[in-house]
């Protein structure tokens, strides 16, 4: 049987996925994806998988958004440099 906390986190996960997909701006998408990763971390913790939660925390809430934001900044800088 699913505990109420697990059910609440599952609802957040189900609501967060469309938010990531429907984000059009790459910067906003990176931020929403980081928040969605954190919600998945909460899901894994409530399901009793702390090792998976720790891996998910590092990858989706820290590493992926940082790499994506650096790539966006560099591509915008290169585009601005070409325009000048």
Nearest by Cα to 36 from 71, 60, 52: 60
The three-class DSSP label of residue 3 is coil
| pLDDT greater than 80 at residue 1 | no
Domain total of the chain = 1
Domain, as residue range, for 29:
4-83
Write out pLDDT tens, residues 34-83.
Answer: 899 999 999 999 999 999 999 999 998 788 878 988 998 899 898 888 87
Supply the pLDDT for residue 55. Answer: 93
| pLDDT greater than 90 at residue 26 | no
Judge contact between 41 and 53, C-beta under 8 A. yes
Supply the pLDDT for residue 64. Answer: 86
């Amino acid at each position: 049987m699913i505990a109420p906390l697990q059910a609440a986190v599952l609802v957040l996960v189900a609501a967060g996925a469309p938010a990531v997909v429907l984000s059009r701006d790459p910067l906003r998408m990176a931020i929403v994806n980081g928040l969605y990763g954190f919600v998945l971390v909460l899901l894994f913790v409530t399901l009793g998988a702390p090792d998976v939660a720790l891996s998910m925390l590092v990858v989706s809430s820290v590493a992926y958004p940082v790499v994506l934001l650096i790539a966006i900044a560099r591509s915008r800088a290169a585009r601005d440099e070409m325009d000048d």
